[in-house]
A = this chain, B = another copy of it.
Amino acid sequence: MDIRVQESPFAFGAEAEAFAARQRGMGAVVTFTGIVRDLPGGMAHMEIEHYPGMTEAALRKIAEEAQARWDLGDALIIHRHGRLGPDEMIMMVATAARHRVAAFEAAEFLMDFLKSRAPFWKKEHLSEGAQWVAAKEEDEAALDRWAPKEGA
| A interface residues, tally (CB under 8 Å) | 36
Q: A104-B104, A104-B111 are in contact. List 19 more A-B contacts (CB 8 A).
A: A12-B16, A13-B13, A13-B15, A13-B16, A13-B20, A14-B17, A16-B17, A20-B33, A20-B89, A26-B35, A27-B34, A27-B35, A27-B37, A29-B31, A31-B31, A32-B100, A32-B104, A34-B100, A104-B108
A26 and B37 in contact, given A14-B13, A31-B31, A32-B104 (Cβ under 8 angstroms):
yes
Q: Say whether B35 contacts A20, CB under 8 Å.
A: yes
How far in angstroms is the closest Cβ of chain B from A103?
Answer: 7
**A 95-143 contacts with B by CB, 8 A:** 98, 100-101, 103-104, 107-108, 111, 142
